[in-house]
Amino acid sequence: MTKPATPLFEKIHNTKKRRPVILHDGQIDGWLDNSAQRNDIENLIAGDMPDENISAYPISKDLYSPKADSNRPDISEVIHYQEVAIDYEGKPPTDLFG
């Protein structure tokens, strides 16, 4: 499920201006509750994880290439491409896999 992009995701999904809905652990039961009403779901979507709790960084373009072997340990390591830059307002990105 997606929703309109936040500033961070506008840089990542810059063509379609969208972002995935990313739930907090405490929201999962509410999401899976069959008795939840539309308003409950809308509140979960509106209150999902904010940008300040998310870090993003570019990885190897090989991940999406059918000609490259992407089944390798370094596929998710940070790659610095000049054309891609995310401003974390002076904060270093968090290592998502560390």
pLDDT in tens, 79-97: 877 666 656 555 555 544 4
pTM score, two decimals?
Answer: 0.64
Task: Calculate the alpha carbon distances from 48 to 3, 7, 8, 28, 66 in Å.
Answer: 10, 15, 14, 11, 33
pLDDT band at 61 (very low <50, low <70, confident <90, very high): confident
Same domain, yes or no: 78 and 36: no
What's the chain's length in residues? 98
Same domain, yes or no: 44 and 70: no
Determine the structural domain holding residue 82 and report its residue range.
Answer: 55-98
- Distance of alpha carbon 65 from alpha carbon 74, whole angstroms: 15
Same domain, yes or no: 30 and 71: no
Q: For the chain, how far is it from start to end, CA to CA, in angstroms?
A: 27
Percent of the chain with pLDDT over 70: 82
Same domain, yes or no: 44 and 71: no
Query: What is the number of alpha carbons within 13 Å of residue 98 lying toward its C-beta?
Result: 6
Same domain, yes or no: 30 and 77: no
